[in-house]
A = this chain, B = another copy of it.
């Protein structure tokens, strides 16, 4: 059974007790989150996250590990965000037009102006028994389940 899908990705890059965050300038989904971006049609998913992290942060990551999925369906399109994490990277940190990037203490994330659902996305990145952040429209508003 086929469906129409838009794939994107996000990556939690960890260096000891810090993670790399981006203050995304996009007006439709502002706030501090993890870097990432789109997947080209047919592009290997792993290549896509390596490419996007390079473009947004200047860093070259290796062995990104798939750790979860965020998804929702709207107007017959399923939007799929692949979550990756890695602690292996090389290169010089460099912000892009997408937004400023910097290393932040994990324990301090909750004190920042995070993007709307970042606190619960972080749970999917970090808790082994969670693999999915699923948005559903309950008839009046969007709600989500962590699975």
Contact = CB atoms under 8 A, between A and B. Distances in A.
A63 interface: yes
A120 interface: no
Interface stretch (A22-30, A43-51, A89-97, A103-111): A43-51
Contacts of A77: 2
**Copies of this chain:** 2
A145 to B, nearest CB: 7
Sort chain A's interface into a size bin: 35 or more
A66 B69 contact: yes
Task: Give the interface SS of chain A, mostly helix, strand, loop or mixed.
Answer: strand
Contacts of A115: none
A2 B4 contact: yes
Given A3-B4, A42-B78, A44-B71, 8 more contacts: A1-B38, A1-B41, A2-B77, A42-B73, A45-B134, A46-B134, A63-B131, A66-B131
8 contacts: A2-B6, A2-B77, A3-B4, A5-B5, A45-B134, A47-B147, A65-B129, A84-B131
